[in-house]
Structure 1
Amino acid sequence: MKLSQLKILDAIVSSQSLKQAAEKCHKTQPALTMAMQKLEQDIGFTLIDRSGYRLKLTPAGERFYKQAKRVLSGCDELDKISSTLALGYEPSICIAYEQLAGDQRISQLFGNVIQQFPRTQFKIVGGSRFQAVEKLAKGEVDIGIGPWFDIFHASGDFQSVLLKPIDVILVASPKILANGRTTLTSDELDDIPCLTLKPTELPFDDEKLSFAKGSQVVMVEELATLRSLLLQGVGWGLAAKHVCKTELENGDLVQIRLSDDEDQFQSELRAFRSNRNFYGPVASAIWQGLQELY
């Protein structure tokens, strides 16, 4: 069994297409087929079900692949440790910074660390609706910053630091509320479309994780699109109070209160990282700075 075979298996599983996997591995399709046949011959059982249009793992293949992912993750982490020890700092670092988390102090911290480590390449990716946690669970980023719920611990071995509480409320444009009424019943709210962000691939996150019960649901991918549709009066939605503070103050949005049900709750803005990863001086400087911000 070779590490290169496990990498090919990972490419096939993640793309579900031999052609895409070949492009990802920079090899020909016949070369990938031969590599998988040789691996299956060596281990004594079939990994991939080739009977359908899409390639998929056999039951035995799923168990094998789960362990193979751990091996590949360990190798990636070993490469990162080696690079850091050789250079004295990380050659690159990736941070998932959700739009909801926008804060001048966090941006200033990033600026200070970037100046402190001029040889490190920084990649800061955005996202919304728990995408920072999703990217961290997949090993795509080193540190995530975004909304946090205790259930996120089910997605990985994380440690986190509280940055600040988040008040989540129901908001809408006053133009879609009859007679300007901001206090409604749950049934009245159900008559108005609900705007919500597209669920992530986290196991607990789906269309059922929504405050909407009987409302028509309009699903969008970006927070900016959600904000625009709210202002246009397309429907109501859940929003962090600090994010829509200006719109609430000038009357472009209003807070909806329910006379017969809960209409607001509290979440937390946290920074989080995996307990299983090695962190060099750059990631450590960012983490220490986040701990000292609030």
Structure 2
Amino acid sequence: MTLEQIRVFITVAQLGSIAAAAETLHKTQSALSIALKRLQDELNIELFHRQQYRLSLTVAGAKLLRHCEYLVKQQNHVLDIAKHLANGIESKIDVIYETVCHDEAIFSAISKAHQRFPLTEFYLSSENNLRSIKRLIDGEGDIAISPWMDQFNELADFETLPFSRFKIIIAAHKKQFPKNEPLPKSVTELEYLPLLMPQSLIFQLDLERLLGFVSPLQIRTNDLWAQKAMLMNGGGWGCIPSHLIEHELKTGELLELKLEEISYDAYVETRIIKLLNHSLGIAGKEMWQTLASKAANFNLNSE
């Protein structure tokens, strides 16, 4: 059984005659008759009834037709993929983003790229505690979106573009403090509450040093959503990106604490990142450029 025989079978079934199929396929009627006979002999079934001048499918032929049409469609799909790859378009792109960098622009860029390159598989995964950069270094990703520090340049040679930024604030639940009394103004007033911190960071950052305070009470979470949940349950206080608790701040359920030890607003820059020696294919480059347009808007708005 060959794909050519299957195509002959499908065309004859669709047109109802060998003569019409021969004209469509630009072959002789005898060549098509031989192809059909060989197919029927190999399958040991009759595919057609002869009714005057038109061929009609047998029950077995009708059932087989559906499978043959699917097989030909799959062959065309394989040919499309081969052409796709031959033109330098990747079969797969891995995009990794830190959950704190959640941004509609990321999902929009993937949707746009997939519409242009539907045969490329896009793998989108989220990470915490800067694991996206670690995975990039380990060759497990093509593009990452992550908070950025200049110290990361010591880990590998990166190509980066500023993507956005977010503000880090210190927050706690309102039920932690008596009503109608001033909020704490110093970290020493918070010694009785657990400090909510990440369990670990792939790249060691001394958060306690940045806070200027070592708390004897600590609860460590493995992601920011767990940290937010602990805040919402009155489980302690800690640093958290303000956009993750924007609604809770507006309703007054969570309170921003202004501590005298931290006299400045803390902003964290996020970047689009790839390894400098890692070449993106056509689809990856287009996605990078789409994300870069977001970066360009960010730069304009930051000036």
Establish whether TM, by shorter chain, passes 0.5. Answer: yes
In angstroms, what is the RMSD of aligned CA positions? 2.3
Q: How does 1:153-232 map to 2 (within 5 A)?
A: 153-179=153-179, 181-202=182-203, 204-205=204-205, 211=211, 212-232=213-233
Alignment of 1:257 onto 2:258:
yes
Partner of 1:113: 113
Q: CA deviation at 1:232?
A: 0.5
Which structure 2 residue ranges, 5 or more long, are not aligned? 1-82, 298-303
Q: 1:170 to 1:84 in 2, by over 3 A?
A: farther
2:101 paired residue number:
101
Task: Using the TM superposition, give the Cα deviation of residue 93 of structure 1 relative to its aligned residue in structure 2, in angstroms.
Answer: 1.0
Q: Structure 1 226/192 Cα, relative in aligned 2: closer, same or farther at 3 Å?
A: same
Q: Deviations over 1:248-287 (max 9, x none)?
A: 1111211111124446411112111110111111211111
- 2: CA distance, partners of 1:189 / 1:136: 38
Q: 1:220 to 1:210 in 2, by over 3 A?
A: farther
Which residue pairs with 2:293 in the alignment?
Answer: 292
CA 1:210–1:127: 2 relative to 1, 3 Å: farther
Q: Work out the number of aligned pairs and report it.
A: 211
Task: Please tell me the residue identity of whatever aligns with 1:249.
Answer: K
How far does residue 184 in structure 1 lie from its aligned partner after superposition? 2.1
CA distance 1:181–1:130, shift in 2 (3 Å): farther
Q: Is the 8 A contact 1:89 1:280 kept in 2?
A: yes
Residue matched to 2:284 = 283
- What is aligned with 2:145? 145
Which segment drifts farther, 230-239 or 172-181?
172-181
The equivalences for 1:2-41 within 5 A come to none
Residue 92 (1) aligns with residue 92 (2): yes
Q: Which one-letter code corresponds to 1:277 in the other structure?
A: H
Separation in 1, partners of 2:201, 2:260:
31
1:250 partner amino acid: T
| Residue 109 (structure 1) shift | 1.5
Percent identity (aligned): 25
Give me the whole-angstrom Cα distance separating, in 2, the residues matched to 1:108 and 1:253: 31
| Partners of 2:137 and 2:251 in 1: CA distance | 39
Structure with larger Rg: 2
Give 1:127's aligned residue. 127
Deviation at 1:177, TM superposition (A): 2.5
Work out the CA distance in 2 between the residues paired with 1:223 and 1:230.
10
Q: TM-score if structure 2 supplies the norm length?
A: 0.64
Aligned equivalents of 2:275, 2:253: Cα separation in 1: 40
Task: Determine if contact 1:96/1:143 at 8 Å carries over to the other structure.
Answer: yes
Equivalent residues in 2 for 1:72-87 (5 A)? Answer: 86-87=86-87
Q: Distance in 1 between matches of 2:206 and 2:137?
A: 17
In the TM superposition, 1:23-62 aligns within 5 A as none
Compute the displacement of 1:208 (Å).
5.7
* CA distance 1:215–1:172, change in 2 (3 Å): farther
Query: What displacement does 1:129 show?
Result: 2.2
Scaled by the length of structure 1, what TM-score is found?
Answer: 0.66
